[in-house]
């Protein structure tokens, strides 16, 4: 998103493969499969997938030991002493061209409001005590209604 259409490869034909390193093996697995059911990770993965697809690019993350990834740790902790300030790219999240996240967030917020309403309303939680916890009542579970 930071380089996008202004990138040197933006006007080329073909597929670009970007390689990176991470000291968190879960990140490498997430990128390999583009699969997570956890919120908000799933939304970020959908956005990443769309952005890479539009740029005809692929991201490959490889695991490395934490000791070999100290520069990345420094960046995440706001320690910029060892980096050239001329190469810094200032980013304003409000102006980034997100393509998927705004619409998904809109739906996620509505869904969350529905859940909160069910948890707090007398009619939603009174008849089904498990709804207040976000669980399916035992009698309604599929494995009990239609065992294989």
Q: What is the pLDDT of residues 111-141, one digit of tens each?
A: 888 888 888 875 554 555 544 455 667 667 7
Whether a cis peptide bond, with omega within 30° of 0, leads into 40 is: yes
For residues 120 and 112, is the Cβ–Cβ distance under 8 A? no
Percent of the chain scored above 90 by pLDDT?
17
Q: What would you report as the CA-atom Rg of the chain, rounded to the nearest whole angstrom?
A: 22
Looking at residue 137, what is its pLDDT? 74
pLDDT-derived band at 40, boundaries 50, 70, 90:
confident
- The residue that leads in pLDDT, 64 or 7, is 64
The alpha carbon torsion through 91, 81, 20, 102 (nearest 10 deg) reads -20
Tokens of 97: 């061209």
- The residue that leads in pLDDT, 124 or 14, is 14
């Amino acid at each position: 998103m930071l380089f996008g259409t202004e990138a040197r490869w933006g006007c080329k034909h073909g597929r670009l493969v970007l390689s990176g390193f991470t000291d968190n093996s879960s990140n490498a697995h997430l990128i390999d499969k583009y699969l997570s059911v956890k919120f908000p990770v799933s939304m970020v993965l959908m956005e990443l997938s769309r952005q890479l697809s539009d740029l005809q690019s692929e991201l490959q993350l490889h695991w490395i030991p934490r000791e070999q990834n100290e520069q990345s740790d420094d960046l995440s902790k706001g320690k910029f002493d060892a980096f050239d300030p001329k190469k810094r790219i200032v980013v304003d999240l409000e102006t980034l061209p997100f393509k998927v996240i705004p619409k998904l967030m809109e739906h996620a917020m509505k869904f969350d409001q529905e859940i909160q309403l069910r948890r707090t309303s007398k009619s939603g939680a009174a008849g089904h005590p498990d709804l207040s916890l976000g669980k399916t009542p035992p009698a309604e579970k599929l494995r009990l209604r239609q065992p294989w």
